[in-house]
Structures are given as structure tokens and as C-alpha cells.
């Protein structure tokens, strides 16, 4: 696992990135797509895979704990977040000067007190929509070394402690401040979402140790399939208001996105288990037709960053067009996805060439030896 990438993770992460773009672009069909995957969505998949990837990248089977590497990665994510915020603020300023403040509402509040909100943004206390995902990963990656250290002492203790924090955050509504949203709280409560990330770390450590953590079991597969399939019509029926939510207010708590509700966690775990054990998924990860999607998952940070900018463009164009046609929205959707895949291709080509030159630099002196 240390020497070879798990292509299924790259495939699932690449698909999640494209689905995040669709769900956040506010097309007339974005909500339907967002809710057509059951109680969980692409964000849940991405956080779970982030935990697995963190374990595969930073966990050491000899018991040693790496602190510096994950913290460097977290700092890099923080810098990218600040850069994205600066770029989107600049775009918002240009749009406000050109067509007025109503063109893109996410940043309008920022200009009421730009210096104050800029300082809050640096402190991760001002995050408009679509700019609240990377800060979550900054926090989670900062916690990753401690989670791996505790796992080395007791996996049960790690999961129990993480679950208790998740329960306390959900029941007590413990959260961090985000002055950019109406609720004045992080949309992705890190105290809640850490549980899904920690589950991913535990799964990733099991994979790195070659343990059968996702071993195919017919009963488990059947239960996961029934749960994942049943969740789709239930969630869609509630979203489309075809029926009242079961258990009334309790249902909203069970599927809460802010607090990573238990039905969301069960749903994303079922999706991961099914994807891991369906032969077609493993085959797709190795097919040329899905190579660019896997490349997007492999280079997730730059592709996600481009996706955030494209979401801004798509939302602005849709908002500026009265009653946009379905065809125009589909064209925007396809163009946005293709641009993200193009970025993935460029990055993959650059990496391939760099690897080739590195191998050539090593092999040439060997050939010159007598």
C-alpha cells in the first residue's frame, strides 16, 4: 500500500469532486442531483476518503508518528484557502463594480466591513458558501497525528473518544464561529465531522496493515445495498416535499449535514463498502475511460480549487440569466467538468514527464559505466 496507489480511492474521489461541482453550482437540477444519492452526498464521501488517504500517507506500521508532514499539508491547504478567498473576493469586487451587488450574493456581506471580515477570514471565522470545505480539512489534518498515536494505543479508545465528541457536538450544538453564514457557525461542524474522518483513518490503517477491514461478506453487502438503495427514494421524497419527513424533527437531526448525522455516516459507509466490493468499480478504476477521473482524484487539491472558481462562474451566469434554459445549464455543467478533467490531465502529464526525466537522469550514468 505504501508503494502503489489505491486506484479505487482516486476514482471515488474524482467522482466526488465532479459531483461537488454539480451540487454547488445552483443549476435548477443541482438540488435533485445532490439529494439523489441518499442521506449522504459527495462531501461525506470526500471526508471519509480523506481519512483513509491520510492513514495511507502518514501512518507508519512501526508505531512511529509523523507530525510534520500532515501539519505541512494542513498549512498548504490553509494557504490555498486564503488564496481562493482572495481570488473570489477580487471577482466579487469586479462583479459589484460592473453589474451591482446582486450578481453573486455569497460575498456581498463581505463588503459591509471588508477589513474586519478579511481578518476573520484569515482566522477561519469568515467563510462564505463553498469556502468552508478546505478549513475543515485543515482542522482534521491537524488532528490526524494525534488520532494515529491514540490508535497505536487502542483503536477502541480512539473510536470511542471520537464518537463521544461527535455525540456531544450534535446534542449540545458545539461548533466554531463563521460570521459569513446566517447561523454564525461552521456549516461543516469540525467537532462532528471528525468522527467520519477518524473512521476513515481506522479503515486506512487497516488497509495499510493488509487487514480485511472491507472484506466481502454477502450478508454485510446485502444489508449495505438495501440501506443505500432505500435511502435514495426516502431522501428524494422529503426533498421534493412529496411526503412529510419520518419522525418529524428527529429525521432532520439524523440527516443533519452540519452535525454529520448518524444516517449520513451509515449511508456513506455503506456506499464505500459497496464500491469497494463491486467488481465493476475496481475494473473501472483501471480502464482508460476513467483515467482522467482517477487523475482528478489523485490531484484533488488543485482540481477542487479550480472547481471552486468554476462554481463561482456558473452561479454568476445562472443568476444573471432570467429563466436559464436546461440546455444552457447542461452546457455549463459539461464545460465545468471538462475543465476540471483538463486540469487533472495537465497535472498528470507534468508528473509523468518529471518521473521520466528523473528515471532518465539515473539510468544515463549507469549506461556510461564501463
Where do we find the cell 487497516? 206
Where do we find the cell 469568515? 126
Q: Can you tell me the distance from the alpha carbon of 232 to that of 235, in angstroms, rounded to the nearest whole number? A: 5
Q: How far apart are the first and last CA of the chain?
A: 37
pTM listed for this prediction: 0.91
Domain boundaries, the chain: 25-277, 291-370
- Helices 300-320, 68-99: axis angle to 10 degrees equals 20
Going residue by residue through the chain, which has 370 residues, state the pLDDT in tens, using 9 for 90 and above: 344 578 899 999 999 999 999 998 889 999 898 888 899 999 999 999 999 999 999 998 887 888 899 999 999 999 999 999 999 888 888 877 777 665 556 677 888 888 999 999 999 999 987 898 999 999 999 999 999 999 999 999 999 999 999 999 999 999 999 999 888 999 999 999 999 999 999 999 999 998 888 998 999 999 999 999 999 999 999 999 888 888 878 998 999 999 999 999 999 999 999 999 999 998 998 899 899 999 999 999 999 999 999 998 888 888 878 888 999 999 999 999 999 999 999 999 998 887 776 666 666 555 555 5
Q: State how far the alpha carbon of 351 is from the alpha carbons of 161, 269, 289, in Å.
A: 40, 32, 20
According to the model, what pLDDT value does residue 2 have? Answer: 41
Q: Taking the CA of residue 259 as centre, how many other CA atoms within 13 Å lie in the half-sphere pointing to its CB?
A: 22
**CA quadruple 10, 11, 14, 20: dihedral sign:** negative
Q: Can you tell me the distance from the alpha carbon of 27 to that of 18, in angstroms, rounded to the nearest whole number? A: 14
**CA quadruple 83, 85, 86, 88: dihedral sign:** positive
48: its cell numbers: 471519509
Q: Report DSSP state, residue 66.
A: -
Q: Can you tell me the distance from the alpha carbon of 4 to that of 1, in angstroms, rounded to the nearest whole number? A: 5
Cβ neighbours, 10 Å, residue 193:
26
Q: Can you tell me the distance from the alpha carbon of 180 to that of 178, in angstroms, rounded to the nearest whole number? A: 6
Q: Report DSSP state, residue 260.
A: T
Amino acid at each position: 500500500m505504501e508503494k502503489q496507489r489505491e486506484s479505487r480511492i482516486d476514482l471515488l474521489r474524482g467522482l466526488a469532486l465532479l459531483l461537488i461541482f454539480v451540487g454547488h453550482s445552483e443549476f435548477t437540477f443541482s438540488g435533485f442531483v445532490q439529494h439523489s444519492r441518499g442521506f449522504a452526498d459527495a462531501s461525506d464521501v470526500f471526508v471519509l476518503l480523506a481519512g483513509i488517504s491520510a492513514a495511507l500517507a502518514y501512518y507508519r506500521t512501526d508505531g512511529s508518528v509523523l507530525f510534520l508532514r500532515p501539519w505541512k499539508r494542513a498549512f498548504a491547504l490553509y494557504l490555498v484557502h486564503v488564496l481562493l478567498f482572495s481570488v473570489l473576493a477580487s471577482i466579487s469586487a469586479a462583479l459589484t463594480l460592473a453589474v451591482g451587488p446582486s450578481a453573486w450574493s455569497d460575498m456581498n456581506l463581505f463588503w459591509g466591513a471588508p477589513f474586519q471580515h478579511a481578518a476573520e477570514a484569515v482566522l477561519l471565522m469568515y467563510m462564505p458558501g463553498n469556502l468552508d470545505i478546505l478549513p475543515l480539512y485543515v482542522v482534521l489534518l491537524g488532528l490526524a497525528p494525534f488520532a494515529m498515536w491514540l490508535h497505536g494505543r487502542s483503536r477502541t479508545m480512539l473510536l470511542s473518544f471520537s464518537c463521544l465528541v461527535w455525540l456531544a457536538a450534535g446534542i449540545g450544538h458545539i461548533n466554531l464561529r463563521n460570521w459569513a453564514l446566517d447561523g454564525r457557525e461552521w456549516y461543516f461542524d469540525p467537532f462532528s465531522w471528525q468522527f467520519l474522518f477518524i473512521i476513515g483513518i481506522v479503515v486506512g490503517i487497516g488497509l495499510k496493515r493488509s487487514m480485511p477491514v472491507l472484506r466481502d461478506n454477502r450478508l454485510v453487502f446485502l444489508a449495505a445495498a438495501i440501506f443505500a438503495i432505500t435511502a435514495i427514494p426516502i431522501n428524494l421524497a422529503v426533498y421534493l416535499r412529496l411526503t412529510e419527513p419520518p419522525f418529524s424533527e428527529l429525521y432532520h437531526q439524523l440527516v443533519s449535514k452540519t452535525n454529520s448525522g448518524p444516517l449520513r455516516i451509515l449511508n456513506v459507509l455503506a456506499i464505500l463498502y459497496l464500491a469497494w466490493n463491486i467488481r465493476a468499480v475496481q475494473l473501472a478504476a483501471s480502464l482508460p475511460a476513467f483515467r482522467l477521473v482517477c487523475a482528478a482524484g489523485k490531484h484533488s487539491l488543485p482540481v477542487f480549487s479550480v472547481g471552486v472558481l468554476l462554481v463561482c462562474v456558473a452561479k454568476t451566469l445562472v443568476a444573471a440569466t432570467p429563466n436559464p434554459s436546461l440546455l444552457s445549464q447542461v452546457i455549463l455543467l459539461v464545460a465545468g467538468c471538462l475543465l476540471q478533467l483538463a486540469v487533472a490531465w495537465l497535472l498528470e502529464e507534468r508528473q509523468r514527464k518529471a518521473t521520466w526525466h528523473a528515471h532518465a537522469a539515473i539510468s544515463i550514468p549507469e549506461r556510461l559505466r564501463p
